[in-house]
Amino acid sequence: MKKSARADMHPGHALRAARIEQGLSLRALAARTGLPFSTLSKLENGKMALTYDKLVRLAQGLNVDIASLVSSAAPSETPPPGIGRRSIARAGSMRPVSVKHSHFYPASDLLGKMMVPIIIEVKARSVDELGGLVRHSGEEYLYILSGSMELHSNLYAPLPLGPGDSVYFDSGMAHGYVRTGEQPCRVLSVCAGAGMERFAQSATEGSDRETGHE
């Protein structure tokens, strides 16, 4: 998928810029994504939460890097100084984000992270149920905590994975997680790349607005 620079911080503005850049009307984008025209209008105007599921469908419909819809500035080339900061997440303290998978974002209170850890409960049983594969800039490490799944991509045959298995891959490769067993599947994903922190923050904030959490 192609990437395009975004100068505006607001995800809705980035969405509008990506749509206009491709010469699409709101109704044309609605037809591509399956999202109602009124929903897209509200998203572009900041009147509706841009949740993880909507971000994925929009990135697929626009054929853009998913992080480009929430990233506004290039990351600093100089890592932040090691000043002893830390973030602790106690068991049961994180709320899930998304529908097709439940995403939990530990350390969401820390800004300027060089990587984004995500605990994912894999629910989708097929790529169709996922709505297609996604890609974003950077690299990703996946470790299976429990259950079984397949890593689907546009370059390789589905990769079966079980508890204790792990894989490190280029997340610019279109990919998706598909559950294969009857037992719940829980995985640790660690993402690194431009825009990933802002992407995680936007997904969490969007979910909070929709569920009424502050």
Domains in the chain, start-ordered, CATH in brackets?
11-69 (1.10.260.40), 101-211 (2.60.120.10)
**Tens-place pLDDT, residues 139-157:** 899 999 999 999 999 999 9
pLDDT of residue 168: 94
Name every residue whose Cβ is closer than 8 Å to that of residue 13 and which is 6 or more positions away in sequence. 6, 44
Minimum mean pLDDT among 15-19, 26-30, 31-35, 48-52: which range?
48-52
CB atoms within 10 A of CB 121: 19
Across all residues in the chain, what is the average pLDDT? 77
Per-residue pLDDT band at 182 (split at 50, 70, 90): very high
Distance CA 135, CA 130 (A): 13
Which residue would you say has higher pLDDT here, 94 or 19?
19
pLDDT of residue 142: 93
Q: What is the Cα–Cα distance from 170 to 136, expressed in whole angstroms? A: 9
